[in-house]
């Protein structure tokens, strides 16, 4: 399934004992359609307050339903801040997390002198001007395969800090500056830490080569502020064509990496 959600009132993706989670809401709704308990697996766990445009999930079921029935039946049983966009059968080799070869995120920054009530849960407000060209120059150092230890959460449990960033771009539209990033995978808080560093560079609080220096030192304690979660969107994950997923999110899919 492809799932969209507003993360404002969720304590992240992962099921929790006492707090509201996207996973628990979806499992309850899909279970009603399947008429048996199900367990969902997602392409990329999101933290409290983080949104998703096309989170990909999978589950196993003995029920036979049409794709339309899975979508409509699940949505009827979901709260207003989460919805299924599509459903598609997959063979047993598919896994929402492990079959993905790339993921895309975006981070939104509202740059204006006064705060925006309409964007308060969709973008981080910065009241002073940002030098986007400086931010772009700093971002270039992060493209490619690097050790991102300085950009991972201290509690990150990933076995390796090595990731390959395929692109890292910034766009401007009216008062909104958006960071677009795609990689073969992400560490915990990696995008938010990158955003925090680039915002500091845009404010001229750091030089444009700070990103390169942080890669070299491989030390999160020197890595600056973690940007708030509500500006972050999981855009999509990319999968091999043979799975035939009907993905619709706005990021251009990346091609699988060759063996070299």
- Residues designated catalytic: 47
Q: Say if residues 164 and 147 touch (Cβ distance below 8 Å).
A: no
Which of 8, 12, 21, 194 lies closest to 107, judged by CA? 194
Which of 80, 3, 75, 40 lies closest to 237, judged by CA? 3
d(CA 81, CA 120): 16
Which of 108, 103, 104, 235 lies closest to 171, judged by CA? 108
- Paired tokens of 175: 């008062």
Q: Which of left, alpha, beta for 237 (phi over 0: left; psi -120 to 50: alpha)?
A: beta
d(CA 58, CA 40): 6
Burial letters for 16-28: b for 16+ Cβ neighbours within 10 Å, e otherwise?
eeeeebbbbbbbe
Q: Where are the alpha helices (DSSP H) in the chain?
A: 22-34, 67-76, 132-140, 190-202, 210-217
Could you tell me which residues are beta bridge partners of residue 125? 110
Q: Where are the alpha helices (DSSP H) in 146-208?
A: 190-202
- Paired tokens of 212: 């390169």
Could you tell me which residues are beta bridge partners of residue 183? 103, 165
């Amino acid at each position: 399934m492809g799932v969209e959600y507003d993360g404002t009132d969720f304590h992240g993706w992962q099921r929790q004992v006492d707090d509201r989670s996207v996973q628990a809401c979806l499992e309850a709704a899909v279970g009603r359609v399947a008429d048996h308990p199900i367990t969902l697996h997602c392409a990329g766990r999101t933290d409290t307050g983080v949104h998703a445009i096309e989170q990909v999930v999978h589950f196993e079921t003995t029920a036979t339903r049409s794709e339309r029935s899975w979508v409509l039946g699940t949505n009827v049983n979901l709260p207003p801040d989460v919805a299924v966009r599509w459903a598609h059968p997959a063979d047993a080799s598919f896994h929402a997390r492990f079959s993905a070869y790339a993921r895309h995120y975006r981070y939104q920054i509202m740059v204006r002198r006064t705060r925006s009530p309409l964007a308060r849960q969709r973008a981080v407000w910065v009241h002073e001007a940002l030098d986007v060209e400086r931010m772009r120059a700093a971002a270039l150092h992060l493209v490619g395969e690097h050790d991102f230890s300085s950009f991972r959460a201290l509690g990150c449990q990933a076995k390796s800090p090595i990731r390959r960033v395929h692109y890292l771009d910034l766009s401007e539209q009216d008062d909104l500056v958006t960071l677009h990033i795609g990689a073969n995978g992400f560490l915990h808080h990696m995008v938010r830490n990158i955003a925090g560093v680039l915002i500091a560079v845009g404010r001229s609080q750091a030089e444009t080569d700070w990103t390169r220096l942080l890669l070299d030192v491989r030390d999160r304690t020197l890595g600056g502020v973690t940007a708030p979660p509500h500006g972050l969107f999981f855009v999509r994950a990319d999968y091999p064509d043979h799975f035939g997923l009907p993905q619709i999110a706005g990021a251009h899919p990346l091609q699988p990496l060759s063996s070299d």
